[in-house]
Structures are given as structure tokens and as C-alpha cells.
Amino acid sequence: MLIKKPSDILSSEITPRDLYLRRREFLQQATALGLAGTLFPASGALAQPAVPVTEPGKLAKLPGKPSPLSATDKKTPYKDVVTYNNYYEFGTDKAEPAQYAHKLRTRPWSVTIDGEVRNKKPIDIEDLLKLAPMEERVYRMRCVEGWSMVIPWVGYPMAELIKRVEPTAKAKFIGFTTATQPDTMVGLRLPVLEWPYVEGLRMDEAMHPLTILGFGLYGEVLPNQNGAPVRLVAPWKYGFKSIKSIVRITFMESMPKTSWNVAAAHEYGFYSNVNPAVDHPRWSQATERRIGEDGFFQPKRKTLLFNGYADQVAGLYTGMDLKKLF
């Protein structure tokens, strides 16, 4: 195929050209050395696949009660959800996370709870899984690059965790941190972003009923490339807010640092709400292409304010100038 997908064009625009070329070179060398194909022994079989997961039925079942907060849009095929990913710790090409993330060790796993909070004890992933009843939430997800998917997540409201750990009165924001496993995350060798990947929400955003901790998709535990064993899902924000493979949740008095804002503050703000009226400095955000559904030559579909969740979330931002606080 000689036709370039928009994502390929974008990844070369997002990273400076020299970095992009160095990355190509690095990947060619890594492949030549056989680094790319090294298998790590699997322990805890189902939670940690020994081979890339590209089809359903390979991972442990994780059912969730269907939620009334689910979207009725047609779901994106499983295959697309697990092979077209952004997870820069495993490379910046869309196909790389599915190729390399099976090496990620997802057990043992614990999440540090710290900062302005009473119950600072680390929570083991097995306890986190049992903390509240699982729900299935079908959400539209919109990447800042101009594509979208509809994913049946399995998880429970972030508010369930927040209530139990008892934030202090000073806690106004929450910072999230992704794991760093230099031996499994080939992408960490490239200075594309500052590692670890960090993200954040304002406390009222984190408490909003639409904000969930995701542990699965399509009725099974998360494939590693989608952020196993636990990730954030905030469907009215650009995809990069939904941080993967979380190891730390920090309650803060002031606004946390976020990776994309640190990398390019003029392009990525803290809020990052999906907004067709606020363009990215290098491209329009007015339209999007639904992966697995919209043909390449089909006209793009209109992007909706707050990704179509305005009725639920607009109240969080009353009085804010969303053009300035993007």
C-alpha cells in the first residue's frame, strides 16, 4: 500500500524531524539485534500474556454490569482497539504497543496513594479490582490527532476510590503516574516525552460519574497495550488524559504537571477538553475519523463539544474561557 494513513503523517509532525529519524534508526537497530522479539517468561499467565494479544478470548474474563452511562454508538472492532494504540513507552507508531507491550510485567502491581490524603497505604492491584462493582461503560474516545473509537471499558467510578482514601480539605487536584519498566518499555530510551508519563485532573473532574478507573475492555482484563492493569478513562477529554498502567495517585493542592503540557505547552493545556472550536496550533479539531468504521475517502465526521458529553460535564466549566484554558 502506498497510501499514507493520517496517523503516520502526524507522528512525524509531532516529533521533531531529527528525533523521528533517530527513532527509525533506533528501531531498525533494535530489530536487527533481536531486541524487539525477546520474550519474557510469563508468571500469572492470563494477566501477563506471553505473546501479543490481538484477538478476544486470550485474557481473563472481567464482566461488568451494563451502565446507563454507556454510549449507543457502534463499538469499534476489538482488533482495532488493541492494534491501533498510543502508548509511547512502547514506541510512537500505532502498531508498536501491540507488538511490544506483552512484555510489561503487570504482577505484582501496587498503586501508591500519597499527598493530601488520609489513607496513604499502597493498594495492591488485587484489592483495587475488588474495591467496587465492575461496570461496562461504552465510551466514545477522541484522540487529539483527529481519530476516535468507541470502546466498551470495564471499570468503576474513580469517585469510589477517592471516597475510600479520604482526601484532605487541601486536595484540589489529582496527579497520576505511569509505571517505568526500562527493561520492558523500549520507548523509554527515546526522549519523546519526559518519563514517567504523568497526567492530572481537577478534583471535581476526577469525582465526576463519567470518570472511571478502567481494568478491562470487551469483557476481559485490559490488554497490556491498552494500559493494563489499571488506567484512567475520561471520555470528554482528548485521549492523552486517559493515562495507562497507573502506579501512583497523588492528591495535590496545586495543579499537577502533565507530560504533554511539559513537552509543548502552547499545544497541550491542562484541561484538554474535546472542543471542535479550539484548533490545535497545527491542525483543526473540527472533525474526526472513526477508526474501523469511516473509510479513508469518506468525509470526516463532526467532532462534538466535550466529545458529546456536554450535557453531563459542561457544568464543570461554567465561567471558564475554554479558548484560553484549553
Ligand X SMILES: Nc1nc2c(c(=O)[nH]1)N[C@H]1C(S)=C(S)[C@@H](COP(=O)(O)O)O[C@H]1N2
Residues binding Mo ion (CB under 5 A): 86, 143, 239-240
Report the distance separating Cα 123 and Cα 172, nearest Å. Answer: 21
Nearer to Mo ion, 118 or 301 (CB): 301
Least distance (Å) between residue 138 CB and ligand X: 14
Among residues 100, 240, 306, 309, the one that binds ligand X under rule CB under 6 A: 240
**DSSP run (H or E) holding 317:** none
Q: Is 86 in the site for ligand X (CB under 6 A)?
A: yes
The string of DSSP codes covering 131-160 is SS--EEEEEEEE-TTSEEEEEEEEEEEHHH
- Burial class of 60 by CB neighbour count within 10 A (0 to 12, 13 to 18, 19+): exposed
Least distance (Å) between residue 119 CB and ligand X: 25
- C-alpha 218, offset from chain centre: 16
The string of DSSP codes covering 175-227 is EEEE---TTT-GGGGSTTSPSSPEEEEEHHHHHSTT-EEEEEETTEEPPGGGT
Number of H helices, E strands in the chain: 9, 13
Q: Is 178 in the site for ligand X (CB under 6 A)?
A: yes
Q: Is 143 in the site for ligand X (CB under 6 A)?
A: yes
DSSP H helical segments within the chain, as ranges?
6-14, 17-33, 78-83, 96-100, 125-130, 158-165, 203-207, 259-263, 310-313
Nearer to Mo ion, 239 or 308 (CB): 239
The entry of Mo ion, ligand X, none near residue 88 (CB within 5 to 8 angstroms by kind) is: ligand X
Among residues 7, 242, 258, 285, the one that binds ligand X under rule CB under 6 A: 242
SS3 25: helix
Q: Is 303 in the site for ligand X (CB under 6 A)?
A: no
Q: Which residue is nearest to ligand X (CB)?
A: 239
Cell, residue 183: 527493561
Q: Cα–Cα distances in Å, from 162 out to 227, 240, 255? A: 20, 21, 17
Least distance (Å) between residue 112 CB and ligand X: 16
Binding-site size for ligand X (CB under 6 A) equals: 15
Nearest to residue 145, comparing CAs of 316, 266, 63, 267? 267
Q: Is 176 in the site for ligand X (CB under 6 A)?
A: no
User: Going residue by residue from 87 to 126, which x/- string records binding to ligand X, judged by CB under 6 A?
Assistant: xxx-------------------------------------
The entry of Mo ion, ligand X, none near residue 303 (CB within 5 to 8 angstroms by kind) is: none
The entry of Mo ion, ligand X, none near residue 178 (CB within 5 to 8 angstroms by kind) is: ligand X
Length of the chain: 326
Q: Which stretch binds ligand X (CB under 6 A): 29-37, 158-166, 236-244, 299-307?
A: 236-244
**CB-based contact 186:40 (threshold 8 Å):** no
Q: Is 251 in the site for ligand X (CB under 6 A)?
A: no
Nearer to ligand X, 67 or 225 (CB): 225
Nearer to ligand X, 161 or 230 (CB): 230
User: Going residue by residue from 188 to 227, which x/- string records binding to ligand X, judged by CB under 6 A?
Assistant: ---------x----------------------------xx
Q: Which stretch binds ligand X (CB under 6 A): 16-24, 63-71, 164-172, 240-248?
A: 240-248
Residues contacting 58, CB < 8 A, separation 6+: 49, 220
Nearer to ligand X, 48 or 259 (CB): 259
Q: Under the rule (CB under 6 A), what is the footprint of ligand X?
A: 85-89, 143, 178, 197, 226-227, 239-240, 242-244
